[in-house]
Amino acid sequence: MIQLNALAGGLFLLTAFGVLAVRQVIGCLRLFVIQSILLAASACILGYELASIHLLVVAGITLGVKSILIPWLLFRVLSHEIHARREITQVLNIPTSLLVAAAITIFAYFIAQPLLEISSAAFSRINLPIGMAGLLLGAYAITVRREALPQVLGILTMENGAFFAGVSIAPNLPLIAELAAAFDVLIIALVMGLLARKIQKQVGTTLVGKMATLKEE
Partner 1 sequence: MIQKIIFNILQVLVVMLLSPLVKGVIDCLKENIQSKKGPSIFQPYRDIWKLFHKDEVVSEQSSWIFRFTPFICFTTPMFVALLIPVLTDYPLFFAFMADMLGGGFILALGGFFAALAAVDTGNPYGPMGASRTRMVGFLAEPVFMIVFFTVSFVAGSTIPYIVQKVWVTPIANFFEPSHVLVMLAFLMLILAESGRIPVDNPSGHFELAMIDESKGLEYSGRGAALMKWGGCMKFFVLLCIFLNVLVTPWGLAGSGSLWEVLLAVPLVLVKMFFFIIVLVIIESSLAKLRLYRITEFMGAAFVTSLAAVVIQLLGI
Q: Please report, as ranges, the residues that interact with partner 1 according to CB under 8 A.
A: 3-4, 6-7, 9-11, 13-14, 17, 21, 94-95, 98-99, 101-102, 105-106, 109, 125-126, 129-130
Is the Cβ of residue 10 or residue 209 nearer to partner 1 in the bound state?
Answer: 10
* Least distance between partner 1 and beta carbon 51 (Å): 21
**3-class DSSP state of 217:** coil
HSE-CB of 178 using CA atoms within 13 angstroms: 23
Residue 23's SS3 state is coil
Residue 79 Cβ, how far from partner 1 at the closest point, in Å? 25
CB of 42 closer than 8 Å to CB of 124? no
What 3-state DSSP class applies to 24? strand
For residue 114, the minimal CB distance to partner 1 (Å) is: 13
* Least distance from partner 1 to the Cβ atom of residue 211, Å: 26
Task: Work out how close the CB of 215 gets to partner 1 at its nearest, in angstroms, rounded to a whole number.
Answer: 34
CB closer to partner 1 out of 100 and 207: 100
- Of 129 and 193, the one with the shorter C-beta distance to partner 1 is 129
Residue type, 3: Q
Whether 197 contacts 77, CB under 8 Å: yes
**Pick 28 or 192: Cβ nearer partner 1:** 28
- Judged by beta carbon, residue 46 or residue 126, the one nearer partner 1 is 126
CB of 133 closer than 8 Å to CB of 20: no
